[in-house]
Amino acid sequence: MPVVTLYWDELEKLVGVDRDMILSKLPMLGCDIERVEEDHIDVEFFPNRPDLYSVEGVARALRGFLGIETGYKEYEVKQADWKIIVDESVSEVRPRICGCVVRGLEITDEVIRSLMEVQEDLHWTIGRNRRKMAIGVHDLSVLEFPLRYTTVDSSFSFVPLDFDEEMSIAEIFEKHPKGKEYSFILEKAERYPIILDANGEVVSFPPIINANRTRLTEKTSDVFIDVTGFDKNVDRALNILATMLADRGGVVEGVEVIYPDHVEQTPDLSPTRMSVDREEIDALMGFSLSEGEIISSLEKMRFGVNAREGYFEVLIPPYRADIMHPWDVIEDIAIGYGYDRIKPDYPRTATIGRAHSWNEVREIVKEVMIGLGYLEVITFTLTSERIQYDAMRRERPEPWEGYVPVMHPLTEEHTIVRTDILPKLLEVLSVNTHHPLPQRIFEVGDVVVSMKNILRLAACSTHSRANFAEIRSLVQAIMREFDVEWEVKESDDGAFIEGRRADVVVEGKKVGVFGEIHPEVLENFGIPTPVVGFELDLSELFDVGGVI
């Protein structure tokens, strides 16, 4: 989630209250304050509120929330003669474009910083790392309208931002930092999107890089913003930027986008209307609010509202990208009303508690193991073929039928989900060789075989005299407590010493194994003392209940 840096002097000036007031109220609007410094705060806003990624947006919301300036705020788009002509060829690669002009800005370092920050955050969130949406901001004075949005091939060249010589598109992908970072978006493209001005000069190569000549300077007062992409997120981003700059005192002028088959006026800063049922509000809140409370809550959250018979007509500001459903509005009613003012009420839903047998079996098994002097441990279920099979002198089973391999593991130690617990216990012993012996440990938990969870119990004991008799006694005791008739069969499990290993067989089926761990296995794990151990399949022995 994006962390936005807000400078106190600007924030206090734009909101009109002091920092203590802001600090106390801001979290109740929906954010996490990460850091409070002398000159700024870092605030993490939620990904559903991209309109709060700038100091202007935060100030607008806070002024409403604090009751300084409430209700819907109108934004005007002046008609002008700015045009973008869209070539058919872009439909293959990046079909949507919109734009606006903002005039009369005082471009200070603060404005540039805020613009760059909001741009980055929007790219990352609603732009999905520029894939779905990318923004360019340009100095209007160097552009000759109408612009053309078209495509070129990879040999096409221009001077990209932060460079002073021409580079072809192929070279930008290879050499320009932004080209390298974002070339994946156009990986499959045959032709590349480009915005040219009336003189054929490059404005931008979306979503990668602007032309160097259009960069903002201290002398800039009028800007042109382009947003390209695929869907309505393009319009949302433009609305957020246009309203933010309008709050800075800029005058927004519309741009006409001429597609081969239709024409659009952008940006559209008129509100969206949504009907929200009075009953729905009460039901979702769980209590009844008065009409006045609903209206004032909505206005604090900067919505426009008209009370109608049984419902409210809500005007949604153009910068709000998150309102998909009336419940989204109701959440804002709750926030505007104040979460701290809502009286919690325990629901009267009457049901009977019921434990799952999986965990009930685990609890009883733990009781038995602890009674037998074994210490409970828990371990990761992520592990590797090397630990689970190779180090155990066991053959690797088939993937999927046996174990589950993960795609793109982060480390060599975590490539599969465990099918056995015993190797995990040996790992525990291997990192505990400096603690006094004897060490007796167990784990009762899940393994995944054939993509399904199975409940297992494993235990091991290590000290200088650990031997087969000890582990057989243990298995005997456990099976006595489990009330299970069982027999042993000679085992062929390579993890144990031949002649000192046994399969546990119940009703003709192998349900476990025990014995003296093979010294080669001990060597693999770096354990200097003899170890005896067992593993039992509890899913075979008990009804462990249904698993979703």
Does residue 310 interact with other proteins by CB under 8 A? no
Let me know: does 174 contact 75? Beta carbons within 8 Å: no
Dist. CA 433–CA 531, nearest whole Å: 12
Dist. CA 257–CA 548, nearest whole Å: 52
Element (H, E) at 115: helix 109-124
Residue number with CB closer to other proteins (177 or 286) = 286
Q: Which of residues 25-44 bind other proteins (CB under 8 A)?
A: 27-30, 32
Contact region with other proteins (CB under 8 A), list: 192-200, 209-217, 430-438, 488-496: 430-438
Find the binder of other proteins among 14, 21, 85, 382 (CB under 8 A): 382
Please state the closest distance from residue 327 (CB atom) to other proteins, in A: 4
Look-up: residue for tokens 């249904």? Answer: 546
Element (H, E) at 315: strand 311-316
Residue number with CB closer to other proteins (10 or 235) = 235
Q: Which of residues 128-187 bind other proteins (CB under 8 A)?
A: 128-129, 131-132
Find the binder of other proteins among 24, 188, 292, 350 (CB under 8 A): 350
Dist. CA 458–CA 448, nearest whole Å: 15
Please state the closest distance from residue 13 (CB atom) to other proteins, in A: 25
Residue number with CB closer to other proteins (264 or 503) = 264
Dist. CA 467–CA 470, nearest whole Å: 6
Pattern 235-274, other proteins, x by CB under 8 A: ----------------------------------------
Does residue 290 interact with other proteins by CB under 8 A? no
Does residue 287 interact with other proteins by CB under 8 A? yes
* Neighbouring C-alpha atoms within 13 Å toward the C-beta of 490: 4
Does residue 499 interact with other proteins by CB under 8 A? no
3-state SS string for 220-235: CCCEEEEEEECCHHHH
Find the binder of other proteins among 342, 465, 473, 487 (CB under 8 A): 342
Collapsing DSSP to helix, strand or coil, 249 comes out as: coil
Please state the closest distance from residue 97 (CB atom) to other proteins, in A: 17
Q: Which of residues 64-123 bind other proteins (CB under 8 A)?
A: none
Find the binder of other proteins among 330, 365, 426, 471 (CB under 8 A): 330
Residue number with CB closer to other proteins (196 or 457) = 457
For 36, phi then psi, to 5°, come to: -120, 120
Collapsing DSSP to helix, strand or coil, 368 comes out as: helix
Q: Which of residues 394-423 bind other proteins (CB under 8 A)?
A: 400, 404-411, 414, 417
Dist. CA 509–CA 89, nearest whole Å: 67
Residue number with CB closer to other proteins (20 or 340) = 340
* CB atoms near residue 475 (< 10 Å): 20
